[in-house]
Amino acid sequence: MRISVAIDGPAGAGKSTIAKIIAKKLNLMYINTGAMYRAVTLEAIKSDISFKDIDKLSSLIDKMEMHFERDNLILNGIDIQEELSSLQVSSNVSNYAQVPEVREKLVYLQQKMSKKFDVIMDGRDIGTVVLKDSPYKFFLTASSEERARRRHEELISKGMKVEFDEILEDMKKRDFIDTHRETDPLRKADDAIEIDTTGLDIDGVVNKILEYIK
Ligand code: DC
């Protein structure tokens, strides 16, 4: 039996930071499913494919070989992780992620990875759809201001020039689309443990999760 840990929650709740640390501690492969939706968005924008053009989107995804190496997404042999955090990708990704055909293809790839490796996955539908049989499900939350502040710090530390207000606005817009879309909206799985990370430091959240898993 493969081990799988599911981490869901809205943008900026700390999912990826926490998941990467737990992956190292428990020797799991970290699968950043948001990066996969972002990669589809990036490639679609580059090829000028609208999220409404289902046929073109489907064949685009069929040509994308995605896997993870050292927490980074490798697309057709190239590490594209850096490109995935641009504001252009961030502000368009929710539109592409709400397309049922896109979700179906990415969920299939994610489930295939979870059968092959011991994984910790973060996203929006991991506990409810992708790893719905996992015994270890966590739902991280934090206030939208706190989440925007974290994302702002992260992008600034990567040398990007971004305004806090722009990030907060974008985050609220994405939260709305992610929680209101018809297919697999962001919601806490009934059997997930909810952790509000506002005011908690990283170690505090990691330890809480490790305690539950052990
Ligand atoms: O985690 P993130 O901010 O990089 O995710 C980018 C977008 O992808 C997010 O707005 C919603 C979508 N997403 C999703 O719909 N399902 C997932 N499992 C992961 C991300």
Q: What percent of the chain has pLDDT over 70?
A: 100
Question: Taking the CB of residue 214, how many other CB atoms lie within 10 A of it?
Answer: 6
Q: How far apart are CA 46 and CA 43, in angstroms?
A: 5
Q: What is the mean pLDDT of residues 34-52?
A: 98
DSSP 84: G
Per-residue pLDDT, 35: 98
Band (pLDDT 50/70/90 cuts) for residue 206 is very high
Whether residue 9 is annotated as binding a ligand: the answer is: yes
Q: Using an 8 Å Cβ cutoff, are 86 and 30 in contact?
A: no
Pairing status of strand 72-75 against strand 193-196: unpaired
Q: What is the mean pLDDT of residues 126-133?
A: 97
Per-residue pLDDT, 19: 97
With the most atoms of ligand 1 within 8 angstroms of its CB, the residue from 36, 73, 93, 173 to mutate is 93
Q: Is the predicted pLDDT of residue 205 greater than 90, yes or no? A: yes
Per-residue pLDDT, 88: 93
Distances 9 to 57, 67, 144, 146, 150 between C-alpha atoms, Å: 26, 22, 12, 14, 14
Q: Is the predicted pLDDT of residue 10 greater than 90, yes or no? A: yes
Q: What is the mean pLDDT of residues 4-10?
A: 97
Q: Is the predicted pLDDT of residue 199 greater than 90, yes or no? A: no
Amino acid residing at 41: T
Q: What is the 146 CA–ligand 1 centroid distance (Å)?
A: 18
Q: Is the predicted pLDDT of residue 120 greater than 90, yes or no? A: yes
For residue 125, what is the enclosing H or E element?
Answer: none
Q: What is the 24 CA–ligand 1 centroid distance (Å)?
A: 22
Six token digits for residue 27: 């020797």
Closest Cα to atom 20 of ligand 1: 34
Band (pLDDT 50/70/90 cuts) for residue 124 is very high
Q: Is the predicted pLDDT of residue 1 greater than 90, yes or no? A: no
Q: What is the mean pLDDT of residues 48-58?
A: 98
Q: Is the CB of 125 under 6 A from ligand 1?
A: yes
Per-residue pLDDT, 213: 93
Q: Is the predicted pLDDT of residue 158 greater than 90, yes or no? A: no
Q: What is the mean pLDDT of residues 177-193?
A: 94
Q: What is the mean pLDDT of residues 170-177?
A: 90
Per-residue pLDDT, 60: 98
Exposed e or buried b per residue across 41-69, where buried means at least 16 C-beta atoms within 10 angstroms of its C-beta:
bbbbbeeebebeeeeebeebbeeeebebe
